[in-house]
Amino acid sequence: MTDSTMNEIVLYDLACTKNVCFSPIVWRTRLMLNYKRISYRTVFLELPDIAPTLSKLGIAPHASSASKYEYTVPTIHHLSTNTYIMDSDAIASFLNATYPDPELIIKSELGNDIATRVRRAFGPAFIISVTPREMGILSPYAQEYFRRTREGELGHPLEDMLSDNKEEEVWERQAMEMETASKLLLKDQNQFILGAQPSYADFFITGSLQSARTVDEEIFERCMKYAGLQKVYNSCVPYMK
């Protein structure tokens, strides 16, 4: 069974006022769907509607030991088998098993190592620069939820992250590690991290960059000064839609 437009999958994604995908995690799934040329349609959910919508579909919540939130996007509905899958890693495994061609390498020592080093280098700056600015692209309804839940986790107002030059300090503090991570991405002559074809590691990095770009173009431009990130991002542009 497919839906009326013959899509194979419904992708539950996170809504924003720009009406595009902005979650770095959903971008990983989206890039994979696009790379494998799987037809899908998107259902954008406002943050506070994720749990009520997905629970109503009969999806079991995440175990509390596995996730801060009971329900999350990305979630997919594979229409022909009527299977719902929540969690990007589980979705990636399912897509690779169900649509093996073209193959996408999800786990590899080199890919994991590089993605981890890029995350360690850029992650702290992304948290400070991106998180508070997400408020700028959420609807008032989602803003209230986002502020309440994230400030509850952080233990302070979102705006504090941008006060007292904290943002510049973290980018400066991380600069050397960022440069090292960027060089690592340039080491190989191949277009992608693991060779001539993309892998999940490329999508991990590109998803975060595209998310930052949607939240605030300046953060993205700052990242693009690192040639390694620029190379990965540009290589993945064909799979972005």
Ligand X SMILES: N[C@@H](CCC(=O)N[C@@H](CS)C(=O)NCC(=O)O)C(=O)O
Q: Is 199 in the site for ligand X (CB under 6 A)?
A: no
- Closer CB to ligand X, 26 or 181, in the complex: 26
- Choose, by CB under 6 A, the member of 18, 43, 69, 237 that binds ligand X: 69
Q: Is 87 in the site for ligand X (CB under 6 A)?
A: yes
- How far apart are alpha carbons 26 and 56 in whole angstroms? 21
- How far apart are alpha carbons 77 and 229 in whole angstroms? 32
**Which pair of tokens denotes residue 75?**
């979630």
Q: Is 88 in the site for ligand X (CB under 6 A)?
A: yes
Q: Which of 69, 79, 63 is nearest to 45 (CA)?
A: 69
Q: Is 74 in the site for ligand X (CB under 6 A)?
A: yes
Q: Is 141 in the site for ligand X (CB under 6 A)?
A: no
- Closer CB to ligand X, 182 or 214, in the complex: 214
Q: Are strands 75-78 and 9-14 parallel, antiparallel or unpaired?
A: antiparallel
Task: Looking at residues 97 to 126 of the shown chain, list those that interact with ligand X (rule: CB under 6 A).
Answer: none
CB atoms within 10 A of CB 63: 8
x/- mask, ligand X, residues 145-164, rule CB under 6 A, reads ----x---------------
Q: What is the CA radius of gyration of the chain?
A: 18
Q: Are strands 75-78 and 40-45 parallel, antiparallel or unpaired?
A: unpaired
What is the contact surface with ligand X in residues (CB under 6 A)? 14, 23, 25, 47, 50, 67, 69, 72-74, 87-89, 149
